[in-house]
Structure 1
Amino acid sequence: MNARVRHWRPDWPCPVAQVLAPHRRGGGDPTYRIDAAGRHWRGIRTPVGPATLCVAARPRDGVVRAEAWGEGAAWVLDALPAMLGAEDDPSGFEARHPVLEQALRLHPHWRIGRTDLVMESLVPAIVEQKVTGKEAFAGFRSLVHFHGERAPGPGTDLRLWVQPDPATLRTVPSWEWLRLHIDPARSRTVVQAARVGPSLERITALDHAEADRRLRTLPGIGVWTSAEARVRSMGDPDAVSFGDFHVAKDIGWALTGAPVDDDGLAELLEPWRGHRYRVQALVGLAALRRPRRGPRMSLPTHYPVGP
């Protein structure tokens, strides 16, 4: 299988690894690999079929080199600039805080990418609802391995996978979800989303507020899940992960010296409305996390206990 190749010259020094990082669901994500040469490999299900995408930054030349294989190869290469932040406009963002000013100085070229692939971001976000990161990544990994498919071209040799399509997700039986360590509440939400998958993909043409409203009409999809999906698929710069166990506490600690709850976070971020996700992301890029205390949670199962 021959590769399609694109050399793209962004008009800013694009930090490929930083922009693509949100699409990696843990170090063992089967749809994402980073090889020894620092190239980023992704298995992607596009509207026209699966694709393997390999992205390599060449900073000295100011060029990003991308190769793609499979039915969706042309689609992912066309989408490459948007995926790497070319459509993001940070011009209206003002740091307004010493911590954010410092983070921006350290990461001046970071942008928010968009994939225009809603289900690709929505399914793992649902799997990550209300569980530990370890459990979420394990559940997503199992779902892809058991019900996804190998990525085309060299993706097969790299053990790169593509997420299952909506038709497949709709047919996974209830007992199988339990075996994947995905409880009934989350599996029902995935299946319900899969039933309307094609219509969900069309929300990327809407404004962010309307896209949020439509996502949250689905049972089981709330503020957090909608934000996680929108920021990746639509590049929404205001999509704050309210409801996250760590986000409010970490941002509060970074900006005020003390953790806050979601109400406190909403008040704290109000001056940055329209760009609130940028604050969240910059705090994350600067690795500003409150001190963690307490024992780690163990990885539970969701098999029924007793009759």
Structure 2
Amino acid sequence: MRLTREVMLDRMAASDPAFNGRFIVGVHSTGIYCLPSCRARRPKPENVRFYDSIEAAREAGLRACKKCRPDDWAQGIDADRDRLAAVLATMWESPGRFRGIEDLAREAVMSPSVFFTAVRNQYQSTPGALLTSARVRQARRLLQSGGEVGAVGQEVGFESSSAYYENFGRRTGMPPAAYQRLAGRTDFAVELPDDFAPTPLFHYLGRDPNSLTERLTDEGVDLSVWAGEVPCRISLSVSGQSMRVCIDADRPVDVFAVHHQVSRLLGLEQDPRAFEEHVRGLGYGRLIEGREGMRIPLTPTPFDALVWCIVGQQVNLPFAFALRRRLSEKMAIPVGAGMFAPPTAEWLATRELEEFVPLQYSRRKAEYLVGAAQSVVEGRLDLETLSRAPRSEIEKTLLAQRGIGPWAANYLMMRALGSPDCVPVGDTGITTALGRFFDVARPGPEETLRLLEPFRPYRSYACYHLWQTLHKSD
């Protein structure tokens, strides 16, 4: 997408790090060039010119800004970013080392306010939310390995038992002791948030009535998933304020893996209340009417979203569904009830391109799919680890993968990695819904960004609600 001056001025005013590398800001009144994310005093628009590269800005006689240090950024050097990333990497592995946000900020050599802003800008979250997620993640690991339930809360850094049980329960749907007892079970129940809206979830999972991996039933929905190395079919059904999960497999499975995938589908790590308050404050409450409490369902695994992005690009939805079904039929691993396991990275990485011809895949789509699978298998594209990286690094890594353009990168960040502020520009559904919602002609890329700008930093939620407006469900 070619950026207009208006879009670049807007992104400069927002100090948007997502546009670093897409253009350079030249301030001719001071003779410097900056990154779009620079937080120095805003120049007057008439004093600003935009350049495609640092070299072009230098040729115009400008020098590098000492605040945002664009030359360092271009060389991959950003001391603040790297120090912040190192601190958060330590936090994810050893959250118990940090009593709170002040400890994290001190480790990063930042004031708490600067630290908060840096995390918000680079990770689309707050330090408190990330630290709590890290504590719960580590608690799950320790409980799986047999850690004493009460001691685990202290070890991961929760300041009290009540904070431990409340946060663990909200993000997993069950108390720590119940979670630890999952091993060996063939069924379990996940407690749903009070405002949880199951109808949109079931509607999403039932979009393809002929799907071999997702199928609506009288009770709820059946899914085929991989629990570690074991393919299985799981049945989800709502019972009161709980989601009942039953596992059907021909041998023992990793129940913790099943629980993790169900938690992703339910969006248990999400809290849509801030977005809903934001939307009402804008006067756009009709966007969420009847869908209050709706989470964005993440795909069971990040790789599932990667496959869908490549399979579904530049084809209509019914044909994309057909292409996806043919992959499962080709791999041919049944899980019962006429359903088949979803394709794995290991299987796709070893396919010959000629095998996709009878499946009606274009050669280019087959190349992208096999190449992406090989990147995952070889560790060059680690989507789980990538989900904890800065937004700019996530986007740069995804765009470096053949077959992943801006639309797919934003879709993956939204549906695979849980990023709350993404816009899959060019998505037909979103542009159609935006036109209807604002009663305007179907917008182009620049107008799409302009219309969605008020919803920042929750544009992923806005996009998902816009998709839902296209099919009013009962």
Q: What range describes the TM-score normalised by the shorter chain of this pair? A: 0.7 to 0.9
Pairwise mapping of residues 238-257 of structure 1 onto structure 2 (< 5 A)?
238-257=421-440
User: What corresponds to 2:232 in structure 1?
Assistant: 51
Which letter does structure 2 place at the counterpart of 1:101? G
Cα distance change on mapping 1:263 and 1:140 into 2, 3 Å: same
* CA deviation string 1:2-56 (max 9, x = no partner): 961111212324223423554556222210011123x211111244432322111
User: What corresponds to 1:26 in structure 2?
Assistant: 208
Cα distance change on mapping 1:15 and 1:239 into 2, 3 Å: same
Q: CA deviation at 1:261?
A: 0.8
Matched, 1:230 2:409: no
Q: CA deviation at 1:90?
A: 2.2
Q: Does the Cα contact within 8 Å between 2:266 and 2:295 map onto a contact in 1? A: yes
Matched, 1:179 2:363: no
Pairwise mapping of residues 59-138 of structure 1 onto structure 2 (< 5 A)?
61-70=240-249, 71-93=253-275, 94-95=278-279, 96=281, 98=283, 100-115=284-299, 117-138=301-322
Q: CA deviation at 1:171?
A: 2.5
Find 1:266's aligned residue among 419, 434, 449. 449
Query: What is the RMSD computed on CA atoms of the aligned residues?
Result: 2.4
* CA deviation string 1:216-238 (max 9, x = no partner): 11011012222333322222222
Q: Does the Cα contact within 8 Å between 2:333 and 2:341 map onto a contact in 1? A: yes
Q: CA deviation at 1:239?
A: 2.6
Find the aligned partners of 1:145 and 1:279 in 2 and give their Cα distance: 35
Could you state the TM-score of these two structures normalised by the residue count of structure 2? 0.54
Find the aligned partners of 1:242 and 1:77 in 2 and give their Cα distance: 32
* CA deviation string 1:92-144 (max 9, x = no partner): 3211555x412323111211233462111111220111011122111111111
Find the aligned partners of 1:131 and 1:115 in 2 and give their Cα distance: 20
The 3-state SS of whatever aligns with 1:123 is helix
Q: Relative CO higher for 1 or 2, CA cutoff 8 Å, sep ≥ 6?
A: 1
Find the aligned partners of 1:73 and 1:184 in 2 and give their Cα distance: 38
Q: CA deviation at 1:89?
A: 2.6
Q: CA deviation at 1:257?
A: 2.8
Q: Does the Cα contact within 8 Å between 2:233 and 2:247 map onto a contact in 1? A: yes
Q: Does the Cα contact within 8 Å between 1:31 and 1:43 map onto a contact in 2? A: yes
Q: Does the Cα contact within 8 Å between 1:20 and 1:113 map onto a contact in 2? A: no
* CA deviation string 1:29-88 (max 9, x = no partner): 210011123x21111124443232211112xx3111111234344311244334202111
Which letter does structure 2 place at the counterpart of 1:51? C
Higher helix share: 2
The 3-state SS of whatever aligns with 1:246 is helix
Find the aligned partners of 1:189 and 1:101 in 2 and give their Cα distance: 40
Find the aligned partners of 1:166 and 1:78 in 2 and give their Cα distance: 19
Cα distance change on mapping 1:139 and 1:113 into 2, 3 Å: closer
Find the aligned partners of 1:50 and 1:130 in 2 and give their Cα distance: 30
Cα distance change on mapping 1:119 and 1:278 into 2, 3 Å: same
Find 1:160's aligned residue among 319, 322, 339. 339
Find the aligned partners of 1:27 and 1:285 in 2 and give their Cα distance: 18
The 3-state SS of whatever aligns with 1:219 is coil
User: What corresponds to 1:303 in structure 2?
Assistant: none
Q: Does the Cα contact within 8 Å between 2:192 and 2:241 map onto a contact in 1? A: yes
Cα distance change on mapping 1:213 and 1:92 into 2, 3 Å: farther
Q: Does the Cα contact within 8 Å between 2:222 and 2:236 map onto a contact in 1? A: yes
Q: Does the Cα contact within 8 Å between 1:51 and 1:73 map onto a contact in 2? A: no
Greater shift in the superposed pair: 47-56 or 132-141: 47-56
Find the aligned partners of 1:88 and 1:178 in 2 and give their Cα distance: 40
Find 2:222's aligned residue among 29, 38, 41. 41
Find the aligned partners of 2:433 and 2:286 in 1 and give their Cα distance: 16
Cα distance change on mapping 1:146 and 1:126 into 2, 3 Å: same
User: What corresponds to 1:297 in structure 2?
Assistant: none
Find the aligned partners of 1:75 and 1:273 in 2 and give their Cα distance: 33
Q: CA deviation at 1:269?
A: 0.8
Q: Does the Cα contact within 8 Å between 1:31 and 1:162 map onto a contact in 2? A: yes
Q: Does the Cα contact within 8 Å between 1:13 and 1:109 map onto a contact in 2? A: yes
Sequence identity percentage = 20
- Give structure 1 stretches of 5+ with no counterpart: 290-307
* CA deviation string 1:226-261 (max 9, x = no partner): 233332222222232212233223213312432101
Structure with larger Rg: 2
Report the count of equivalent residues: 279
Which letter does structure 2 place at the counterpart of 1:135? F
The 3-state SS of whatever aligns with 1:238 is coil
Could you state the TM-score of these two structures normalised by the residue count of structure 1? 0.81
